[in-house]
Structure 1
Amino acid sequence: MHFAVQVSRVSKHYRKKVAFEDISIEIQTGEIYGLIGPDGSGKSSLMQAIAGVLTYNSGDLCVFDTLIDSEKSAEKIKHRIGFMPQGLGLNLYPDLSIEENIDFFANLRGVSSDLLQQRKEMLLSVAKLTPFKTRPMKNLSGGMKQKLGLVCTLIHQPELIILDEPTTGVDPISRRDFWEMLNRLVMDEGMTALVSTAYMDEASRFNRLSVMHQGKVLVQGRADDIIAKSPGWVVEIETSQPSVVLARLKVKFETVEQLGQMIRLVIFDQEKDVIESILKEQLGSEEHQWYFLPIGLEEFFIHHLKNHSSSAAKRLQNPSYPISQSPTDKDRVNTDEPLIQADNLIRRFGDFIAADQVTFEVRPGEIFGLLGANGAGKSTVIKMLTGILPPTDGAGFVANQNMAHSGMAIKESIGYMSQAFSLYLDLTVLENIKLFGRIYGLSGERLQERIDWVIDVGHLQSVQNEPAGSLPMGKRQRLALGCALIHQPKVLFLDEPTSGVDPIGRSEFWRILVNLASEWGVAILITTHYMLEAEHCHRLALMQAGKIVAYDTPVNLKQTLKQQKGQVLSVNVSHPYRALSCLQKAGYDNLSLFGNRLQLFSKTVSKTKNDVVNVLKNNQIEIKDTMVLQPSLEDVFVDRIETALAKHELR
């Protein structure tokens, strides 16, 4: 067994601050190795040390059997490494076209003209960027920027690529394309990849991984093996009475939450038949349907942190949000009328139609999800509904007022958190909150009361005198949410509010949103690329090319896909790349690779399972286990968007 990277008891300190400490990992040649963990866990610093761009204080770090202990030794192997830093397109030049960016990086790396042409054509084809190669980088969607960044990182044919959260802020379609591209290149060229991610569902795509927290590795190995150390189940319950079911199950289970019209349980260390018995006892003979799903890395990660003495874990175990106090009748939104209405909204920019006859409504106490690929028109719709952008045609109503000619009075009923961090980085947390309070006309005791509320609800007491720009992403987003809520709006617009936020931060953020909707009656419209978050929404609208292509509850959308395409067969194999190749040769085209698992849809899952097992056994590939899964919202997203794209191409 040969290792591309060997890290032995390596530590990095910035004066009194620990970036990472006593880290030991080994990355095998030809594998995709992952780093997962919350903000500030040390992932980026460790990757920079391996890339040779950051010195470390102690320990041994070898890359391709070369000890990296000085700038001189790092220079010896840099030509064999490709490094893509965190941030959408931050390693690219906005005014250069796709092709010009690639040529620039090729020249920088000394790639010969013959090899450049050959690799450029291949990489553009794999990345599906060939038709857009003359387009300036600044005009690309987030997904296209990340694929171009990967192409530029790969242009000199590196043996090791280091990718720091390459898919943060990227939609599920582009994320899937990105991973298919990476898997193909690792399989075809024998590359090794070190990748970090904030998306826990994405971590299942790694061959092996390390879970990091507070600068240390908590656990490492294959995803399935890590999860097996804390056996458990996720149970999704479809019911017409979610609040009743929630109350009954809270008596018996610790981790129970309502996700739209569905109840979700996360249960560790209990047998399936015991859980079934409790469910039947608590829910009686009423009509409820439930599914048992395997524990994922996100559930494992949050559960594991509860066994550590971090403040984040303590908050998850014992949340004490002031917002959880029951609101008075004066505070609660008391109306059954829709608080947000989009009525055939159209927005053109010259010949380009960004929003095309968009229609939906959001009622008090409802969380409504607006989903779509990068550039689908979601942010344009929000800007029209908030009065920032006038519609070309159609109308948008918020709190029964037409936003096209509403005054400041109606805008005071709206809270808006934009896609970009919209606060003032040089001001302290407290100064930002005061500023937004005064902008909304608060003063005196009322202002102080709301400042205290924002600090408490966001758990910002320890950082209230620190500049907003110095906060980790999770705290920044809670500050931004608090500032959007300081004037107690009836309606809240959130544009990708948790992009780049770790699971702990997302969990805290959503506790606040669910309580705002259920207890205070706030109508919430949210966009997100994270499909586990979309499960919290009561209803969803999927957008593609400015149009709504699906509009229903998460449960109904998944059920419809199940009827159309069947269930998901997931097979855990010993040699995933060889298994993928064998099954493709046998005629299985729509395969997805998730680390050591192969997944595909089937309406006749038992027969497909037998056929797949026979193909793999005939090729001497060991099958470690098989699972039958229900379609996920990400499956729904990919299917609906691809169907819409295919219809558009046929016209």
Structure 2
Amino acid sequence: MSAETAIRVEGFTKRYGKRVAADGLALEVKRGEIYGLVGADGAGKSSLMKAIAGVLSFDGGTVDVFGTRIDSARAAEQVKQRIGFLPQGLGLNLYPDLSIDENVDFFGRLRLVPADVLAERKRVLLGMTRLDAFRHRPMRQLSGGMKQKLGLVCTLIHEPDLVILDEPTTGVDPVSRRDFWAILGRLLEEKGVTALVSTAYLDEADRFHRVSLFHEGKVMGEGTPAELVAVVPGTLALFRAEPQAEALPRLKARFPQTEAMGTWLRVFAEGLDATAARAAVDACLDQPAHPVGSAVGRTSVRQTTVSEGDRRTEVRPTDTAIRLTDWFAREPELEDVFVAMLRQRGAKLESVFPEDGLTPHTSTAPAIEARELTRVFGDFRAADAVSFRVPQGEIFGLLGANGAGKTTVIKMLTGILKPSSGFGMVAGADMRTAGWAIKERIGYMSQAFSLYHDLSVVENIRLYAGIYGLDDRAARRRTDWVIGMAGLAGFENDAAGRLPMGLRQRLALGCALVHQPQVLFLDEPTSGVDPIGRRVFWDILFHLSRREGVAILVTTHYMGEAEHCDHLALMFAGKVVADASPEQMKQAVTAEAGQLLELRVDRPAPAQAALVDAGFASAVLHGRAVHLLSKAADADLARLPGILAAAGVQLQSVQPRPLSMEDVFVHQVSALEAAQRGTP
């Protein structure tokens, strides 16, 4: 093991009973780098990280940390003082009844940090994380993002050589996620610390020097993010096609990695450059050939049957014309490549919807209507005069930072929590007086609990069918429908708790749909789900909204999912502060703050600091790049090289990027937080 190597793992194997959690894993982490483990819950990331931290035994292979082989408790003790470990889960390494100050002091003393050194480090770290104003607040009263930042402070208080962070941003809102990465990047730059970080968010992979892609206990790929993206070449195309519901199945037959994202379609054309991708999409939609970027006229759709492997997809004949507009093409993202790699291993993206003979929900009245909904707990207003409307058949996203009031609003609308004031109608029923009537018309998939893990798949479905009053014949019919829809054939008698996360979430969705509700409430439904499972889940939601007329209200911290929604409401401090479509929100931010520029630089952390000092307050780290908003892009492009050169940073490239919903969320919430603090 060379002096430049911090961690070396070879043949790592870990079993829990008959289940193999990690199967012959190998990796090498260099000193001073941020190494990422990317994959869904259950992929083996946590088992490996705990073994490296010296807190978990394993069944095979070797683990070396700073030249010490971790093969006994005694060996683990030799390196523990050089390691900081943040386990998975919001605040699980903290003490709820202790204040921020007391938690930091406890960990400092536990690590034998001298009192004067501890006081200075605490001052710096709490200032950097913006926790200094809350240092006397008990941990249990902190938001999820604040808990994770406090957990990071406690992990770093003894200045370890290696920090091991297990999914530190899962369940954390985008603003807190960016804060977390900025703080970590700055500390690693200044201290030369090595970091091993796991995540279920593939959009975070750009923040790592190198990455291992985990799936079902194995490493599917390893390298820099750019090297991994190059493994499966192709083009990512974004465009609109009307009618969308007719275009989507045609495109999926030719391009399995096709998603509906609000009014847009997102297609990964594997193996094709931008020109060939456009021609293939045109041909798929029975369009004549057009130059890239040109307008497209109306044509009719012919009947066709397309084969992919052992799957045949028939597109039924229709006279509906399809119009394609607003074409954009760019290089694929790591998630597109990861999904393609999983497909090569046999993973399926399609979902099946058995015919049930039920009439789709149609109504001109709003499916959900909130008017001035307010909920007060003591002197705290968790929801403050919240108002919005959701038509039947729409996917509506409720966004907001941790503690913004989203779950409180859902609990009031579903009748779980009584509002302090205000009014709400759900599926034609008054939420204040409807009682059981409102529960018959809605499905609810909660953030924490939706299934009985000791019951089998069929037992869970039949239990919910009984709760909702279905007779035996209807229960059997809907059970068959749920199993088909969720892809659970062959798992009928398996305990729910033993299912992979993606299947478990689809079972929970099926249980919420067993009585064919008009309205579906989903609270953080895909947290920790792998990319395949997440895409299939959203494919199901699209079908439910477009084909069966179900109104869907969803909360999420994953901003890529916000792009799937037809309409969004952004909550801040219990209030709705924005209410528009994703496209309208992006246009508003562009008009207010300018064009998004991506700067590739050799030293991202000093570059970001220099840009903020130069007046670019929006500059944030984005992996090995810096993103900023510019109102005068041409003039700023001329200034940027000089600003960076003066800071000793080399500008490698700069190019405009389209705004994402994460950019919108961070801009708007950051501005609101600054206004609340009274800072410009």
Same fold per superposition (TM over 0.5): yes
Aligned residue for 2:425?
397
CA distance in 1 between partners of 2:154 and 2:94 (Å): 8
Aligned residue for 1:85?
87
Equivalent residue letter for 2:583: V
CA distance in 1 between partners of 2:95 and 2:533 (Å): 32
Aligned residue for 1:548?
576
Aligned residue for 1:302?
339
After superposition, where does 1:328-407 map in structure 2 within 5 Å?
Answer: 328=357, 330-407=358-435
Greater shift in the superposed pair: 488-497 or 210-219: 210-219
1:269 and 2:261 correspond = no
1:530 and 2:532 correspond = no
Q: State which of 430, 437, 446 in structure 2 corresponds to 1:409.
A: 437
CA distance in 2 between partners of 1:251 and 1:76 (Å): 56
SS at match of 1:201: helix
Shift of 1:226: 1.2
Unaligned runs of 5+ in 2: 289-294, 298-322
Shift of 1:463: 4.0
2:23–2:217 contact (8 Å) kept in structure 1: yes
Cα deviation, 1:592-615, whole Å, max 9, x if unaligned, reads 222222222223435534543455
Aligned residue for 2:664?
636
Shift of 1:492: 0.5
Greater shift in the superposed pair: 64-73 or 52-61: 52-61
1:570–1:628 contact (8 Å) kept in structure 2: yes
Aligned residue for 1:97?
99
2:415–2:438 contact (8 Å) kept in structure 1: no
Aligned residue for 2:330?
293
Aligned residue for 1:185?
187
1:124–1:130 contact (8 Å) kept in structure 2: yes
Equivalent residue letter for 1:338: P
CA distance in 1 between partners of 2:18 and 2:418 (Å): 51
Aligned residue for 1:116?
118
Aligned residue for 1:221?
223
Q: State which of 58, 62, 65 in structure 1 corresponds to 2:64.
A: 62
CA distance in 2 between partners of 1:322 and 1:81 (Å): 50
Residues 225 and 570 of structure 1, relative CA distance in 2, 3 Å threshold: farther
Q: State which of 296, 304, 310 in structure 2 corresponds to 1:284.
A: 296
Shift of 1:141: 1.2
SS at match of 1:425: coil
SS at match of 2:664: helix
Shift of 1:240: 6.7
Aligned residue for 2:172?
170
Shift of 1:350: 2.4
Matched residue pairs, number?
642
1:451 and 2:479 correspond = yes
SS at match of 1:144: helix
2:204–2:623 contact (8 Å) kept in structure 1: no
Aligned residue for 1:7?
9
Cα deviation, 1:8-41, whole Å, max 9, x if unaligned, reads 3333344543322332222121221100123322
Shift of 1:524: 0.5
1:238–1:555 contact (8 Å) kept in structure 2: no
1:257 and 2:259 correspond = yes
Q: State which of 142, 152, 155 in structure 1 corresponds to 2:154.
A: 152
Residues 144 and 581 of structure 1, relative CA distance in 2, 3 Å threshold: closer
SS at match of 2:81: helix
Shift of 1:427: 3.1
Shift of 1:76: 0.1
1:592 and 2:620 correspond = yes
1:416–1:484 contact (8 Å) kept in structure 2: yes
Residues 364 and 589 of structure 1, relative CA distance in 2, 3 Å threshold: closer
Equivalent residue letter for 1:339: A
CA distance in 2 between partners of 1:438 and 1:586 (Å): 64
Residues 307 and 623 of structure 1, relative CA distance in 2, 3 Å threshold: farther
Q: State which of 539, 557, 567 in structure 2 corresponds to 1:539.
A: 567
Greater shift in the superposed pair: 190-199 or 437-446: 437-446
For the aligned residues, what is the CA RMSD? 2.5
Residues 34 and 447 of structure 1, relative CA distance in 2, 3 Å threshold: same
Equivalent residue letter for 1:321: V
SS at match of 1:288: strand
CA distance in 1 between partners of 2:242 and 2:576 (Å): 26
Residues 419 and 240 of structure 1, relative CA distance in 2, 3 Å threshold: same
SS at match of 1:442: coil
Q: State which of 463, 488, 512 in structure 1 corresponds to 2:516.
A: 488
SS at match of 2:586: helix
Cα deviation, 1:444-485, whole Å, max 9, x if unaligned, reads 222222223223322334444344334443233222212111
Equivalent residue letter for 1:486: V
SS at match of 2:360: coil
Cα deviation, 1:44-78, whole Å, max 9, x if unaligned, reads 11111111122333433221122222221111000
Greater shift in the superposed pair: 633-642 or 258-267: 258-267
After superposition, where does 1:36-55 map in structure 2 within 5 Å?
Answer: 36-55=38-57
Equivalent residue letter for 1:602: S
Equivalent residue letter for 2:530: D
Cα deviation, 1:199-224, whole Å, max 9, x if unaligned, reads 11112211211111222222111112
SS at match of 1:404: coil
Residues 422 and 104 of structure 1, relative CA distance in 2, 3 Å threshold: farther
2:239–2:324 contact (8 Å) kept in structure 1: no
Equivalent residue letter for 1:489: P
1:321 and 2:323 correspond = no
Aligned residue for 1:35?
37
1:82–1:161 contact (8 Å) kept in structure 2: yes
Shift of 1:371: 0.4
Greater shift in the superposed pair: 452-461 or 583-592: 583-592
Aligned residue for 2:291?
none
1:262–1:555 contact (8 Å) kept in structure 2: no
Shift of 1:147: 1.3
SS at match of 1:335: coil
SS at match of 2:344: coil
CA distance in 1 between partners of 2:241 and 2:579 (Å): 19
Shift of 1:490: 0.8
Equivalent residue letter for 1:459: G
CA distance in 2 between partners of 1:22 and 1:624 (Å): 38
CA distance in 2 between partners of 1:341 and 1:587 (Å): 42
TM-score (norm 1): 0.92
Residues 249 and 216 of structure 1, relative CA distance in 2, 3 Å threshold: closer
CA distance in 1 between partners of 2:249 and 2:588 (Å): 28
CA distance in 1 between partners of 2:411 and 2:449 (Å): 16
Greater shift in the superposed pair: 376-385 or 49-58: 49-58
CA distance in 2 between partners of 1:117 and 1:496 (Å): 38
CA distance in 2 between partners of 1:437 and 1:538 (Å): 30
CA distance in 2 between partners of 1:24 and 1:609 (Å): 43
CA distance in 2 between partners of 1:130 and 1:582 (Å): 24
CA distance in 2 between partners of 1:410 and 1:69 (Å): 58
Percent identity, please. Answer: 50
Residues 126 and 274 of structure 1, relative CA distance in 2, 3 Å threshold: same
Greater shift in the superposed pair: 32-41 or 238-247: 238-247
CA distance in 1 between partners of 2:433 and 2:666 (Å): 38
Residues 462 and 99 of structure 1, relative CA distance in 2, 3 Å threshold: farther
CA distance in 1 between partners of 2:616 and 2:259 (Å): 38
TM-score (norm 2): 0.89
Aligned residue for 2:536?
508
Aligned residue for 2:458?
430
